[in-house]
């Protein structure tokens, strides 16, 4: 394995500045974010997972006889954890062979009078087709929760993602864009749903001094080390350690804690977010311009497929550029050789949810859902960081390595 100092983070998160960390200032992040998203209101939670749990509990209260939640088989395992911890039953839907969307015919087959919600997911900033989920959900009287954890700022027909379904959620975790170290956001199209979500928050979420202190310290630490000079110490060292042990789950950051804290998002972290939010639009604009140029280069490599937004009216975000390699073998060869080479390579998630030993038990009978295409996606996807710190020279080397790996594949 090559030893390179890591200076490039795996995603193009918005870097914080010292000035963001001042103890005073405007703490009304709710209104600032709602205005930025152009939505009537947002509800802040302590993480995307916690936000999902508030959403699931709210919907379950509205439809207590329904217990099944249909999620894509390839997504963040925290989604399965949230469903299980709400006492609900996950059903895994396969993916389409052409896009990261759920397979239409399987989705139709999974929907029934037991379905509480369908969770279309805007993975890696790519905009999912929510209309199909909405159509099938309406046929059986179920809800749609848009998981936009990785897509803050993505829009469809000029409107924020999260507003086509009944509830939408964003994550403010490290690496997902704008960050409060951990944080989550709920949006909803209808006023009635917004008041139900707020009521559930009031009943189940409270202030925790201990968690707020910890998260504030973590946010300070993150602001201090999320820069090229110190990233190797913060991220590179543990990445190399995980890879040396051949632990891809840890290397990809898929080793989530089973305890999901639930508390409010404190005032100081809201102040930090208000200041950082002012830079989010230009940050996303630059990321899109950079991604467009680099996608053109990547698309020229024979055998490589760049994952794009299928619908023309969709305008996604670009924390990463997702590539589909020709087969699992070439993907694994590429990752083994260059995951730690400081070229911005990583995996969105190592496995489909049912293939993790530690998450499969959360699925109950959902583990039996047949999801072959999603597994194929999981085995062939790679993420290329769209961080501004990945230089053109590094990107050139990355393209050369990818082309060489594909050309050498048997």
Residues that bind ligand PLP (CB under 6 A): 47-49, 75-76, 78-79, 121, 123, 147, 149-150, 171, 173, 182, 184
| Shortest separation between residue 349's beta carbon and ligand PLP, angstroms | 8
Residue that the structure tokens 């802040």 belong to: 44
| Shortest separation between residue 358's beta carbon and ligand PLP, angstroms | 16
Task: Please report how the helices 328-338 and 392-408 are oriented relative to each other, as an axis angle in degrees rounded to 10.
Answer: 140
For 76-136, give the DSSP string: -HHHHHHHHHTT-EEEEEPBPSSSSSBPHHHHHHH-STTEEEE--B-GGGPPP-HHHHHHH
| Shortest separation between residue 206's beta carbon and ligand PLP, angstroms | 18
Q: Which residue number has the CB closest to ligand PLP?
A: 48
Checking DSSP bridges between strand 68-72 and strand 89-93, what pairing results, if any? parallel
Residue that the structure tokens 């302590």 belong to: 46
| Shortest separation between residue 118's beta carbon and ligand PLP, angstroms | 14
Cβ nearer to ligand PLP, comparing 34 with 119: 119
Cβ nearer to ligand PLP, comparing 150 with 385: 150
Q: Which among 155, 176, 269, 283 is annotated as catalytic? A: 176
Distance between CA 212 and CA 220 in Å, rounded?
12
Cβ nearer to ligand PLP, comparing 69 with 78: 78
Main-chain dihedrals φ then ψ at residue 91, nearest 5 degrees: -120, 130
Cβ nearer to ligand PLP, comparing 42 with 398: 42
Distances in whole angstroms, Cα of residue 267 to Cα of each of 23, 25, 352, 402: 9, 10, 37, 45
Give bridge partners of residue 160 from the DSSP assignment: 155
Give bridge partners of residue 187 from the DSSP assignment: 168
| Shortest separation between residue 88's beta carbon and ligand PLP, angstroms | 15
User: Is 384 in contact with 345 (CB distance < 8 Å)?
Assistant: yes
Distance between CA 137 and CA 144 in Å, rounded?
7
DSSP 3-state of 341: coil
| Shortest separation between residue 47's beta carbon and ligand PLP, angstroms | 4
Cβ nearer to ligand PLP, comparing 165 with 184: 184
| Shortest separation between residue 40's beta carbon and ligand PLP, angstroms | 22
Cβ nearer to ligand PLP, comparing 378 with 398: 378
Burial tier of 96 (Cβ tally within 10 Å: 0-12, 13-18, 19+): buried
CA angle 378, 384, 389 (to 5 degrees): 155
Residue that the structure tokens 């009978």 belong to: 365
Distance between CA 3 and CA 116 in Å, rounded?
48
Distance between CA 346 and CA 300 in Å, rounded?
21
Distances in whole angstroms, Cα of residue 44 to Cα of each of 48, 65, 192, 323, 325: 9, 28, 17, 32, 37
CA angle 328, 329, 332 (to 5 degrees): 85
For 23-36, give the DSSP string: S-S---HHHHHHHH
| Shortest separation between residue 406's beta carbon and ligand PLP, angstroms | 27
| Active-site residue flag, 176 | yes
Cβ nearer to ligand PLP, comparing 122 with 338: 122
Count of C-beta atoms within a 10 Å radius of residue 327:
16
Cβ nearer to ligand PLP, comparing 280 with 402: 280
Which residues are catalytic, by number? Answer: 176
């Amino acid at each position: 394995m090559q030893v390179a100092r890591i200076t490039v983070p795996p995603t193009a998160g918005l870097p914080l500045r010292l000035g963001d960390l001042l103890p005073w200032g405007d703490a009304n992040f709710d209104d600032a974010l709602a205005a930025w998203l152009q939505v009537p209101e947002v509800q802040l939670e302590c993480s995307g997972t916690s936000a999902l749990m508030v959403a699931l509990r709210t919907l379950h209260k509205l439809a207590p006889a329904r217990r099944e939640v249909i999620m894509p088989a390839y997504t963040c395992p925290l989604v399965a954890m949230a469903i299980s911890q709400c006492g609900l039953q996950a059903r895994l839907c396969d993916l389409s062979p052409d896009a990261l969307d759920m397979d239409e015919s399987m989705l139709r087959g999974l929907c029934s009078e037991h379905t509480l919600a369908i969770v279309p997911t805007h993975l890696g900033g790519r905009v999912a087709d929510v209309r199909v989920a909405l159509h099938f959900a309406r046929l059986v009287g179920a809800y749609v929760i848009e998981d936009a954890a990785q897509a803050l700022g993505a829009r469809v027909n000029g409107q924020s993602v999260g507003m086509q379904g009944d509830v939408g959620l964003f994550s403010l975790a490290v690496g997902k864009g704008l960050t409060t170290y951990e944080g989550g956001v709920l949006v909803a199209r209808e006023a009635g749903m917004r008041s139900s979500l707020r009521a559930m928050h009031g009943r189940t979420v409270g202030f925790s001094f201990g968690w707020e202190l910890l998260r504030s310290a973590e946010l300070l630490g993150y602001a201090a080390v999320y820069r090229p000079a110190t990233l190797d110490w913060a991220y590179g060292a543990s990445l190399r350690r995980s890879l040396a042990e051949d632990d891809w789950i840890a290397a990809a950051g898929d080793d989530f804690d089973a305890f999901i804290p639930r508390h409010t998002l404190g005032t100081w972290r809201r102040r930090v977010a208000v200041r950082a939010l002012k830079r989010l639009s230009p940050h996303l604009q630059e990321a899109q311009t950079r991604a467009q140029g680099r996608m053109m280069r990547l698309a020229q490599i024979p055998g490589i497929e760049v994952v794009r937004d299928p619908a023309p009216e969709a305008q996604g975000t670009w924390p990463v550029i997702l590539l589909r390699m020709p087969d699992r073998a070439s993907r694994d060869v590429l990752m083994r050789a260059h995951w730690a080479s400081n070229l911005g390579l990583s995996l969105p998630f190592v496995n489909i949810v049912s293939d993790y030993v530690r998450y499969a038990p959360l699925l109950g009978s959902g583990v039996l859902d047949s999801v072959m295409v999603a597994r194929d996606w999981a085995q062939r996807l790679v993420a290329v960081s769209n961080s501004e710190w990945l230089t053109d020279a590094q990107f050139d080397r990355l393209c050369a390595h990818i082309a060489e790996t594909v050309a050498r594949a048997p």
